Amino acid sequence: MTTPRITVLQPDPAASLDQFTDWLTEAGAAVDVVDLTATDVPETVGDGVIVLGGINDARSYPWVGDLHAALRDWVSAGIPVLGICLGAQLLADAHDGDLDFGLEGEEGAVEVELMEAAAPEPVFVGLESPLVVPEHHHDVITELPPGAELLAASKRYEVQAFRLGSAVGVQFHPEASPETMATWTTQSGGDGDAMLAEMQDVDDRVSETGRRIARNFVTILMERH
């Protein structure tokens, strides 16, 4: 079987592929990371695309127009895309969804309920509701793009996951380790030690969800070959 290649777009050096690096390669994929602080949005990509998170709002980056156009092209071409946090917001914004910025947000371990529409969703195969996932955001998708289907919601914010054609966006961070969550919290002026303890306490459950999502994404790519 041909090894699927995943193009990973990284808007922010502080928001890396983290645990997904091992989980994706263990599932049989090859990963090419594109640092958007140093490189243009690529004209060609692999078999699938992952767009990671970042610290700024989804409309503030100099390359946002190019990425919006690329996301529309990839979805139109049926290329599987996984948008994570900022990546999900960019995916929604590129397809005429609505965003709001600088809200209360969510930080730490959050319960997310899978909707009925998530039952057949390939990205969530093998997962049971509710999920416990890492969250670190203050910008929010307030309205899904036309044609998008809501897959998951939290008590505070409705849009936690959605599908739009060949793309899925998740507001949470399935890739983030407890140590990464602690670092982000410290960098934003919070108590990193408390965050580390909170995430370590639920790490078995959180990691299983993240690992499953990574493996499911690779399976989607393999089934296309």
| Strand bridging mode 48-51 / 167-170 | unpaired
- Largest Cα separation within the chain, whole Å, is 47
Amino acid at 148: A
Strands (E), 77-221: 81-84, 98-100, 106-114, 131-137, 140-143, 149-153, 161-164, 167-170
Residue 89: beta bridge partners? none
Helix, strand, coil percentages (3-state) for the chain, rounded to 5, are: 35, 25, 40
- For 140, residues 6+ apart whose C-beta sits below 8 A from its C-beta are 99, 100, 101, 103, 105, 157, 159, 171
Residues in the chain: 225
Say how far apart CA 124 and CA 170 lie, in whole Å.
Answer: 11
Say how far apart CA 156 and CA 112 lie, in whole Å.
Answer: 10
Q: CA separation (Å) from 5 to 100, 126, 157, 162, 182?
A: 33, 23, 33, 23, 30
User: Catalytic residue positions?
Assistant: 85, 173, 175
Residue 114: beta bridge partners? 152
